[in-house]
Amino acid sequence: MKFIILSDIHSNIYALEKCFDFIENMNFDAIIWCGDYITDVPKAHETIEKIKDYSQKYPSYLVRGNREDYVLEYANGQHPDWKIDGFFSDIVNTYSQLTKEDIDWLKGLKETLEIMLPNGEKILVSHKYTEEINHNYQYKIWGHEHKQYNYYEKNIRFINPGSVGQPLHRKMGAQFSILEITDSFKKLEEYHIEYDITKTVQAIKAGKTYNNSDKWGNITIKLLQTGKNYAKMCVDEYNKIRKENSIEYPSLEIWHMALNKLGIE
């Protein structure tokens, strides 16, 4: 069987479509989707609709990611303190873009999936890496880290396809992997697809939260332009400043200090 493996789209529908311009010219059996389909780019509904279309066209295995969990938690009223202008503005804004059908679709996604292969081998699919080494699986596939890599350990092939929407590889583009398993061979290919990020950047700047106080849109654009993990860099710097000043409560003032130090305007 031949699997296309995709993860971490983050509503970047333009990167997803660019990948499928390439993928749809290939012969394959199914698509494995590893979660984090939404947030960051204000195209959540359109991205879900596109994934639904692809999933109807091609056999697909889908799990949900932590971003889907955040949106579902907010939809269930678990975070009444999350506001459109604050640290979680992107989650609130993403929720506002979704229909009831979108929410129901997200609720129907599982955290993990098992895929049984014709040769008796099994694949475990999740969004985040699972620590335990389960020898009932010959393949473990996950996303979340936005970095494309694979390795072989204790008779298990571990595969991370990277990120379609926000890859961390210090250059612009989109990532996915292809796993092919037959009776005679096993083959893994890693792909990097270049595309023009202009439409993605324009969509972020046109979104409701681009000029909000958390500046998350600016952080996402910086990540897209450089391939550097500015999201983590900003959070780490923020926590460092809070610790240095013994500040235990959330502070937008400290957040802005961290952003300024890293050149986020």
Residues 12 and 94 reside in one and the same domain: yes
Residues 93 and 215 reside in one and the same domain: no
Cα–chain center distance at 174 = 11
pLDDT of residue 134: 73
Per-residue pLDDT band at 108 (split at 50, 70, 90): very high
pLDDT of residue 32: 98
Rounded Cα distance between 215 and 28, Å, is 40
Range of the domain at 211: 204-261
Residues 187 and 213 reside in one and the same domain: no
Average model confidence (pLDDT) for the chain?
95
Among residues 152, 170, 193, which one ends one of the domains? 193
Residues 179 and 217 reside in one and the same domain: no
Residues 211 and 156 reside in one and the same domain: no
Residues 181 and 212 reside in one and the same domain: no
Residues 155 and 237 reside in one and the same domain: no
Residues 117 and 183 reside in one and the same domain: yes
Residues 179 and 227 reside in one and the same domain: no
Residues 145 and 83 reside in one and the same domain: yes
Q: What is the pLDDT of residues 189-229, one digit of tens each?
A: 999 999 999 999 999 999 988 988 889 999 999 999 999 99
Give 183 or 8, the one with higher predicted confidence: 8
CATH code, 186: 3.60.21.10
Cα–chain center distance at 224 = 13
Residue 171 has pLDDT above 90, yes or no: no
Query: Which residues does 4 contact at the CB level (< 8 Å), separation at least 6?
Result: 23, 26, 28, 30, 31, 32, 176, 177, 178
* Strand positions, DSSP E, the chain: 2-6, 30-33, 60-62, 112-116, 122-126, 139-141, 148-153, 156-161, 174-181, 186-193
Residues 178 and 208 reside in one and the same domain: no
Number of domains in the chain: 2
Both structure tokens of 181? 């398993």
Instruction: Confirm whether 199 is domain-assigned.
Output: no
Q: Specify the pTM.
A: 0.96
Residue 98 has pLDDT above 90, yes or no: yes
- What are the strands of the beta sheet with 112-116, ordered from one edge? 112-116, 122-126, 139-141, 156-161, 148-153
pLDDT of residue 130: 84
Q: What is the pLDDT of residues 35-78, one digit of tens each?
A: 999 999 999 999 999 999 999 999 999 999 999 999 999 999 99
- In degrees rounded to 5, what are phi and psi of residue 255? -60, -45
3-state secondary structure of 216: helix
